[in-house]
Chain A
Amino acid sequence: MPFTTCGVLLFAIGLYGVLAARPLLRRILAANIMGNGVFMVLVAGAFRPAQAGGAIPDPVAHALVLTGIVVAVSATALGLHLVCRLHELAPPAEDSRT
């Protein structure tokens, strides 16, 4: 349960960051934190108490998180590439307004 709460908190912090932050890099990082929150909720849900026939955690949740990490890496890469492109095309003083 504490892990789930942490996950939900991370999700909320990340969401706030994406909406409130101005610098683009910070917003991309905030989206990553949001994703990590979701992954934490998923992994925390994989825990099974000992009485339910052995304490083997649910493997499906881990498979989901692994897939999610791959997606998050690709999305971050695209985001960072776009930030770089924006720096090339527009003067750096201007892009923080976006």
Chain B
Amino acid sequence: MIPAGGASAMLPLLVSVPLLGGLASFVLGDRGRWAALGALALNAVLAALLLAATRAGPLDYALGGWSAPLGIALGADGLSALFVAVSALVTLVAGVYSLAYFAGGSATGRVFWPLWCLLLAALNTLFVTRDLFNTYVAIEVLGLSAVALVTLAGDVTAVRAALRYLLVSLVGSLCYLMGVALVYRVHGVLDAGALARISGSSPLECTALALMSAGLLLKTALFPLHFWLPEAHASAPAPVSAALSALVLKGTFYVLLRLWFEILPGAAGPGAGTTLAVLGAAAIAWGSLMAARTPRLKRLVAYSTVAQIGYLFLLFPLLGRGPGRAAALDAVVYFVLAHACAKAAMFLAAGNVQSVAGHDRIDELRGDALPGAGTQFAFALAGISLVGLPPTGGFAAKWMLLQGAAQAGAWWLFAVALGGALLAAIYVFRVLARCFDLTSVLAGREAPRLVHVAACREWSALVLALAALVLGLVAGPLLSGIHVPGVPR
């Protein structure tokens, strides 16, 4: 574990910059938003540098100079760098959106910024830590800050959803911790690198992996453990919903990916991966159907998240061994990136719709009571990426999924992917159709729009939607840098 020059010094900074930014914004009160935004911008620069640095190979850093068995190791490879980068992008853009969303000087605004930075610090910790227990702490910090952010909406529904979210989150992380305790019982180490070398397939290890996976699946909201998600994501303030759907679920998914295919690869039987894939397919069907039926816009977007999480698990049987493995990993990573950008854009756009129309009942939305073209365009672009039409990131991900499935001979995945796209088109066009509903305009009684949303709110939704579009064009160069131990390229 030789530190690769000064580049590895970025790893502790990725944790400490958002943390210090959060503390500063808490101390500064009303002016804290600028400290927080500064930290978010600095974190984005660090994330870009990390992305460039990991092209050359993985980075390692021993905290305080204590190396792995005794100290806590940080590390980053191409996979973690991509997760760090997408978190940096979404938190920064949704942060700009929040400048206008939370009124300056309001109590809610003051509480929002420290929590927002804490959320980012927890995410970054999750992506760069190489220690199973440190991962637990990061998961808890992530969960607690997410719950606190949901309550900022302030009404009874939000508080009730937050409490439920908190309990689910606690059960999930405690199941994970029990698994960590068992792994520590067996091997006496918690370092990911060391465990990857010595882990086997003893019954205790299988139990540990099952417990950890159960906890993490609950927090990642894979069907049928998604019951808490629509309420929590739909009742939170718009930028918070964006982060919850785009990033918080991906944090625990990242841990699952590492555990199954790097840290404890022997403990997962072939049947387990197939089970997750079947649940993923069920999630796509159920989430899409509910999204097509729900009367509320934000719930529609939340149910769409339930469906999209299903795609992440579809490829689990292919990731373990055999042909199509590299393509499957590329597809999973790309689903995460494309969904993060598209879903964040969609929630921000839905927030604009809610502010302008005053409600989010889909059937009552009319073309003349919608926010400007920027928001509508953002929603459409994000929707197209979720459906998986070219040239968006969602299309690239689905293309790689089909490639991996073809190489592995898993033809049933074709049916699931195509059916999922059709269902997604149904719920996306259900909303887009409202944008073209100009009946009141044609009848000559167009009312002047009373509420305007700030330009930065329209732009931030559009920027994220465009990012989802651009992802479809840069898939090759972006993915060539992923080196994950155990996956040949």
Contact A24 B163 (CB under 8 A): yes
Contact B160 A78 (CB under 8 A): no
- From the candidates B136, B163, B170, B174, name the one contacting A86 in the complex (CB within 8 A): B163
Please name all residues of chain A whose beta carbon is closer than 8 Å to the beta carbon of B143 when the two chains form the complex: 75
Number of interchain pairs (Cβ within 8 Å): 85
Please name all residues of chain A whose beta carbon is closer than 8 Å to the beta carbon of B190 when the two chains form the complex: 60
**Alpha-carbon distance A65/B167, docked complex (angstroms):** 20
Evaluate whether A78 and B178 lie within 8 angstroms (CB atoms) in the complex, with A18-B171, A31-B167 already known: no
Contact B137 A83 (CB under 8 A): no
Contact A89 B159 (CB under 8 A): yes
Binds A, one of B94-102, B148-156, B244-252: B148-156
- From the candidates A42, A64, A71, A75, name the one contacting B166 in the complex (CB within 8 A): A75
**What does DSSP make chain B's interface, helix, strand, loop or mixed?**
helix
Which of chain B's residues 176-208 have a Cβ closer than 8 Å to chain A? Answer: 177-178, 181-182, 184-185, 188, 190
- From the candidates B140, B155, B156, B167, name the one contacting A18 in the complex (CB within 8 A): B167
Q: Does B41 contact A (CB under 8 A)?
A: no
Q: Does B430 contact A (CB under 8 A)?
A: no
Q: Does B370 contact A (CB under 8 A)?
A: no
Please name all residues of chain A whose beta carbon is closer than 8 Å to the beta carbon of B136 when the two chains form the complex: 68, 71
Please name all residues of chain B whose beta carbon is closer than 8 Å to the beta carbon of A67 when the two chains form the complex: 133, 137
Which partner residue on chain A sits nearest B164 by CB separation?
A98
Please name all residues of chain B whose beta carbon is closer than 8 Å to the beta carbon of A82 when the two chains form the complex: 147, 151, 159, 162-163, 166
Evaluate whether A38 and B160 lie within 8 angstroms (CB atoms) in the complex, with A61-B184, A75-B144, A78-B144 already known: no
Contact B156 A90 (CB under 8 A): yes
CB distance from B164 to the nearest CB of A (A): 7
Contact B171 A38 (CB under 8 A): no
**Alpha-carbon distance A75/B173, docked complex (angstroms):** 11
Contact A28 B167 (CB under 8 A): yes
**Alpha-carbon distance A42/B133, docked complex (angstroms):** 12
Which partner residue on chain B sits nearest A27 by CB separation?
B167
Interface size class on chain A is 35 or more
CB distance from B180 to the nearest CB of A (A): 8
Evaluate whether A79 and B166 lie within 8 angstroms (CB atoms) in the complex, with A85-B151, A89-B156 already known: yes
Please name all residues of chain B whose beta carbon is closer than 8 Å to the beta carbon of A34 when the two chains form the complex: 170-171, 174
Residues 54-98 of chain A, each 1 if its beta carbon lies under 8 Å from chain B, else 0: 000010110010011001001100110011011001100001001
Which partner residue on chain A sits nearest B179 by CB separation?
A38
Evaluate whether A11 and B155 lie within 8 angstroms (CB atoms) in the complex, with A82-B163, A86-B163, A98-B163 already known: no
CB distance from A72 to the nearest CB of B (A): 9
**Alpha-carbon distance A11/B173, docked complex (angstroms):** 13
**Alpha-carbon distance A86/B163, docked complex (angstroms):** 9
**Alpha-carbon distance A24/B151, docked complex (angstroms):** 16
Please name all residues of chain B whose beta carbon is closer than 8 Å to the beta carbon of A19 when the two chains form the complex: 171
**Alpha-carbon distance A86/B164, docked complex (angstroms):** 12
Please name all residues of chain A whose beta carbon is closer than 8 Å to the beta carbon of B177 when the two chains form the complex: 35, 38, 68
Contact B156 A71 (CB under 8 A): no
Which of chain B's residues 214-229 have a Cβ closer than 8 Å to chain A? Answer: none
Please name all residues of chain B whose beta carbon is closer than 8 Å to the beta carbon of A90 when the two chains form the complex: 156, 160
**Alpha-carbon distance A85/B144, docked complex (angstroms):** 16
Please name all residues of chain B whose beta carbon is closer than 8 Å to the beta carbon of A15 when the two chains form the complex: 171
Contact A42 B144 (CB under 8 A): no
CB distance from A11 to the nearest CB of B (A): 6
- Beyond the given pairs A38-B178, A82-B166, A89-B159, 19 more chain A to chain B contacts, judged by CB atoms under 8 angstroms and listed by A's residue number, are A11-B178, A15-B171, A18-B167, A18-B170, A19-B171, A35-B177, A37-B178, A41-B178, A41-B181, A58-B188, A60-B184, A64-B184, A67-B133, A67-B137, A68-B177, A78-B144, A86-B156, A86-B160, A90-B156
Interfacial residues, chain B to chain A (CB-CB below 8 A): 133, 136-137, 140, 143-144, 147-148, 151, 155-156, 159-160, 162-164, 166-167, 170-171, 174, 177-178, 181-182, 184-185, 188, 190
Interfacial residues, chain A to chain B (CB-CB below 8 A): 11, 14-15, 18-19, 24, 27-28, 31, 34-35, 37-38, 41-42, 45, 58, 60-61, 64, 67-68, 71, 74-75, 78-79, 82-83, 85-86, 89-90, 95, 98
**Can you report 17 A-B residue pairs in the complex whose CB atoms are below 8 A from each other?**
A15-B171, A18-B170, A28-B167, A31-B167, A35-B174, A42-B184, A58-B188, A60-B190, A64-B184, A71-B140, A78-B147, A78-B166, A82-B166, A86-B160, A89-B156, A90-B156, A98-B160
